[in-house]
Structure 1
Amino acid sequence: MTSSMRLRAIIFCIIVYICFSSTARGQTEEKVVLNIGGIFPMTGDNWNGGEGCLPAATMALDDVNNRTDILPEYELKMFWNDSECCVVHCSTDVYMRCL
């Protein structure tokens, strides 16, 4: 496994941790809010695939939130940022959001 793949795996694990650790509890609403973090390459020199990935992720969250047979007690909310197609920028952003 290359160092780039390891870094991507670590970033994925951090995002999953953030998703499950930031669940809002004890709200007056009947649904529990589950915050999901997304980092998409919207700009940058290498690949701006986030232009397609972000709308797809948003549509997927809308689909899950609108169905009653998938996570009926939860409302998914996504917070995202532009990774600028740069591993350093991406990992720094994830680190700063975890503080």
Structure 2
Amino acid sequence: MIFLCKTSDVPTGKAKRIARGRKPAVAVFEVDGTFHATADQCTHGTALLSRGRIEDGRIICPLHFGSFDLMTGAVASLPCEEPLAVYAVEIQGDDIYADVPE
């Protein structure tokens, strides 16, 4: 597990991008009081999902408007075809940790 950010850093109903130097960025989402962590790059194109719109438990890509289920990473709508990487999240106090591969 790695530290991502504080729960207070994630805007309600929105996302926070976590840059990790040379490693792929992570997007942290808050939906109805639950935090989710995913890869920040869409699997369909070079778009940042942290800039997308959250709707009905899905993240909608800002580039081509495909979407993914935030809990499972499953493709929810085309043109996306490849699932999104999602990471197990653990909250410790106000800290958000996730099981992000190094």
Give the TM-score, by structure 2 length. 0.31
Higher relative contact order (CA 8 A, sep 6+): 1
Give the TM-score, by structure 1 length. 0.31
Larger Rg: 1
Structure number having the greater helix percentage:
1
Structure number having the greater strand percentage:
2
